[in-house]
Structure 1
Amino acid sequence: MHGSPSRREYLAVAGTAIVTGTAGCMDGSEADQEMSPSETGGDTSGATSSKASTDSETTPLVTGADAPFEPFVVNTEPDKLTGFDVEMLETVIETMPAHTHDRWLALDEWPDDFIDAINGGGADVGVGAVTILDQREQEWGVRFTDSYFVINQAFFVSAGSQYQPTAPPDLTAHTIGAKQGTTGAREVTDLIKKGILDPEALETFPHIEDAIQQVVDGSLDVGVIDHPVAQSYSDEFDIEIAFEIYTGEEYGFVVDESRDTLLKALNDGIATVRSNDALFGGLVSEWF
Structure 2
Amino acid sequence: MARDFDVDRRTYLATVGAAGVAGLAGCPGDGGNGNDDDTGTDDGTGTPDDGGPSGEDVIRLATAGDFPPFATLEEGALVGVDVDLAETVVERAGYEIGTWADIRFEALVQELNADQFDLVAAAMSTSLGREEEVAFSAPYYETDQAVLVRSSGEQPADESDLEGLFVGAQAATTSEAEVERLIEEEVLTEDDYRPFVDFTNAVEALSDETLDAVVADLTVGEAVTDGVDLEVAFIIETGEEYALAMRTDDDRLEDVDAALSEMMDDGTFEELVAEYLGENGETGQNNETNGSNQTTENNETNGNNQSTEINE
- Taking structure 1 as the reference length, the TM-score comes to 0.76
Is the Cα–Cα contact under 8 Å of residues 169 and 214 in structure 2 kept in the other structure? yes
Give CA deviations for 1:37-76 in whole Å, capped at 9, x if unaligned.
xxxxxx98583585445xxxx7011100011210000112
After superposition, the Cα gap between the structure-2 partners of 1:186 and 1:134, relative to the gap in structure 1 and judged at 3 Å, is: closer
Amino acid at match of 1:249: E
Give distance in 2, aligned partners of 1:159 and 1:90. 37
In 1, Cα distance between the equivalents of 2:120 and 2:211? 31
Structure 1 residues 46, 173: CA separation in 2 closer, same or farther (over 3 Å shift)?
closer
1:134-283 to 2 correspondences below 5 Å: 135-138=129-132, 141-161=133-153, 163-235=154-226, 237-259=228-250, 261-277=251-267, 279-283=268-272
SS in 1 for 2:255: helix
Give SS of 1:200's match.
helix
Q: Is the 8 A contact 1:44 1:122 kept in 2?
A: no
Q: 2:252 is paired with a residue of what secondary structure?
A: helix
Contact 2:46-2:102 at 8 Å conserved across structures: no
Give the Cα–Cα distance (whole angstroms) in 1 for the partners of residues 276 and 45 of structure 2.
33
Counterpart for residue 83 of structure 1: 80
Give aligned pairs, total: 235
Could you tell me how far 1:134 is from its partner in structure 2? 6.0
CA apart distance, 1:219? 1.1
**2: CA distance, partners of 1:193 / 1:103:** 42
Higher relative contact order (CA 8 A, sep 6+): 2
**C-alpha RMSD of matched pairs (Å):** 2.2
Asked if the contact 1:156–1:241 (Cα under 8 Å) also holds between the matched residues in 2, the reply is yes
Match of 1:39 in 2: none
Instruction: Give, in whole Å, the separation in 1 of the partners of 2:138 and 2:211.
Output: 36
TM-score between both structures, scaled by the size of structure 2: 0.70
Pick from 69, 94, 111: which aligns with 1:117? Answer: 111
Q: Distance in 2 between matches of 1:157 and 1:52?
A: 45
How far is 1:234 from its partner? 1.2
**Change beyond 3 A, Cα 1:70–1:248:** same
Q: Structure 1, residues 221-245: CA drift from partner, whole Å, max 9, x if none?
A: 1001001111111136431110111
In structure 1, C-alpha distance between the alignment counterparts of 2:233 and 2:47, rounded to whole Å: 41
CA contact (8 A) 2:143 2:240 kept: yes
Amino acid at match of 2:97: H
**Structure 1: any 5+ residue segments left out of the alignment?**
2-42
Q: 1:126 to 1:198 in 2, by over 3 A?
A: same
Post-superposition shift, 1:77? Answer: 4.3
